[in-house]
Amino acid sequence: MDYEVLMNGHVKIGESAPSFECSSTKGKISLENYKGKWLIFFSYPEDFTPVCTSEMIAFAMAYPYCQKINTEILGLSVDSLAAHFAWIEMIYQKTAIPILFPLIADANGEIARKYGMMTNSVSSSKAIRNVYILNPRQQIKAIFSYPMEVR
């Protein structure tokens, strides 16, 4: 699937990021909370999976440095807040690495669909792996997309 097919009808580089307000592991948040900062906004398919866990740990380890350079991290999946909290606790218990940035609970996939993180041609119930880099004016500066699994 080429880039234009994947992104048709969704966000594109140079555009303003779609706004949202939602529940997260850090309470209610909105895109507006990140105005004036760079933002690494990523999606992943599911809590408790080995690959997603390793990605979460990598983001957690990078988070202190990101904050020093005026950059925040924000994760999203369609899992519930209860699942996010249980997963964060499991990661901490097994690794002693805290997940200090918010994880969005996008149970109905509304935000994921706005951003093109979820498309019916790939999955109607899970977000694919995407990373969006937003500048301080909340414009999309980079998009990385990769599949839920490689076979």
Residue ranges of domains in the chain: 3-11+35-146
Q: Which residue is catalytic, options 17, 31, 52, 103?
A: 52
pLDDT digits (tens, 9 = 90+) for 10-49: 789 999 999 999 999 999 999 999 999 999 999 998 899 8
Higher pLDDT, 17 or 109: 17
- The CA distance from 72 to 123, in Å, is 28
Catalytic residue list contains 66: no
- Per CATH, the architecture of 3-11+35-146 is what? 3-Layer(aba) Sandwich (3.40)
pTM of the model: 0.88
DSSP-assigned states of every residue in 81-96: HHHHHHHHHHHHHHH-
- How high does pLDDT run on average in the chain? 88
Give 79's contacts (C-beta < 8 A, 6+ positions apart): 46, 47, 87, 105, 107
Helices (H) and strands (E) in the chain, counts: 4, 7
Q: What is the pLDDT of residues 122-131, one digit of tens each?
A: 555 566 788 9
Tell me if 114 sits within 8 A of 20, measured CB to CB: yes
